[in-house]
Amino acid sequence: VGPESMTNDACLSYYGVISIGTPPQSFKVIFDTGSSNLWVPSIYCNSAACNNHAKFDPRGSSTYRQNGRPLSITYGTGSMTGILGYDTVTLFSILASSFCLSQTEAPFMQNMQADGIFGLAYPSLSLSSATPVFDNMMNGGLINLNLFSVYLSSNNQRGSAVTFGGVDTNHYSGSITWIPLSKELYCQITVDSVSGNGQAVACNDGCQAIVDTGTSMIVGPQSDIDNINAWLGASSQNGEYIVNCSNIGQMPDVTFNINGNQFTLPASAYVYQVQYSSCITGFGATGGNMWTLGDVFLKQYYSIYKRGQNMLGLAKA
């Protein structure tokens, strides 16, 4: 049983296509800076979750090598089990010899468009010491710089991208702010405070936050999230914070103060529409003291993960 847990976030929406094996078998994967393994469903899985997705068939790949070690990842409501395997992963036009876990069963994934999860966090988080694909790319000299960057388009269906080995100047404006990581396991940083209209509304004495492309919302401790949502005028309902969709234009900005810099989110970024024309804020509560800056934040800020120097770069997307 592995130590790594994973998401069951039903609001994740960005995925890219990779191929595994020879000849290549294609999969849609979520690029997740909050985990380190590559998971895809396989032919060994017959759950409803797997049957809704592309499955990897190791018999159809001449480059597949089976490790066979059983693994399990727990998440909020269950577990995903599988075996460790090795194969060639194709990213666009580049080949990265790597590992994949080729069996999975995770009910929450049944309705996700993505088939699997492509972990981009540090190797120390990886199960069974499997080298993450990005590290294999670096170790194999397939990319020049030990960094990758993520652009999540706010409005359009297209245009979002993960760039390995560099940054794309078309995806941000202004200068890049570099922030040292406070812990090199996830992309963890120190947030000084969260403010609105110049006043602190949460995280008054500083807090730790994980920058995570595998989380859709901004998540924080219950009391802080309650404070922000109360300040925004949102009402709590079944664990979500409801606002009137027609009020978005009048709602205030929320600013994350990080390393002496301000990263501001307009209401149009942190409010989104859900069922029956209601709207919820993108600030969700969790147990513990850790914050997670997910897609709600990352749609506004192009993020650069400078693994070589343990720095995070943020620039206006």
Partner 1 sequence: CLVQIPLEKGKRARVVLEEQGLWEEYRQKYPYNPMAKFDGSFA
C-alpha 125/C-alpha 184 separation (Å) is 10
User: Which residues on neighbouring strands pair with residue 194, listed in sequence order?
Assistant: 202, 256
Q: Of residues 87, 115, 212, 295, which has the active-site annotation?
A: 212
116 binds partner 1 (CB under 8 A): no
Instruction: Evaluate whether 40 touches 24 at the Cβ level (below 8 Å).
Output: no
Establish if 144 lies at the interface with partner 1 (CB under 8 A). yes
Does the footprint of partner 1 cover residue 282 (CB under 8 A)?
no
User: Dihedral of CA 4/190/280/151: which sign?
Assistant: negative
Rule CB under 8 A: say whether 160 interacts with partner 1.
Answer: yes
Residue 58 or 270: the one with the smaller Cβ distance to partner 1 is: 270
Cβ closer to partner 1: 230 or 274? 274
CA dist 47 → 53, 107, 110, 297 (Å): 10, 8, 9, 34
Applying CB under 8 A, does 111 fall inside the site for partner 1? yes
Does the protein bind partner 1 through residue 113 (CB under 8 A)? yes
Active site residue 32: yes
The encoded tokens of residue 44 equal: 């060994």
Distance CA 96, CA 82 (A): 21
The interface mask with partner 1, positions 198-217, x = CB under 8 A, is: ------------x-x-xxxx
* Residue whose CB is less far from partner 1, 216 or 255: 216
Structure tokens at 249: 């234009």
Subset of 10-69 contacting partner 1 (CB under 8 A)? 10-18, 28, 31, 34-35
123 lies in the site for partner 1, by CB under 8 A: no
The whole-angstrom separation of Cα 117 and Cα 113 is 11
Considering the rule CB under 8 A, would residue 107 count as an interface residue with partner 1? Answer: yes
State yes or no: cis peptide before 23, omega within 30 of 0.
yes
- How big is the chain by its Cα radius of gyration, in Å? 20
Contacts with partner 1, residue ranges (CB under 8 A): 3, 5-18, 28, 31, 34-35, 74-78, 91-94, 107-108, 110-114, 137, 142-144, 152-153, 156-158, 160-166, 168, 186, 210, 212, 214-217, 219, 238-239, 274-275, 284, 286-288, 290, 292
User: What residues are labeled active site?
Assistant: 32, 212
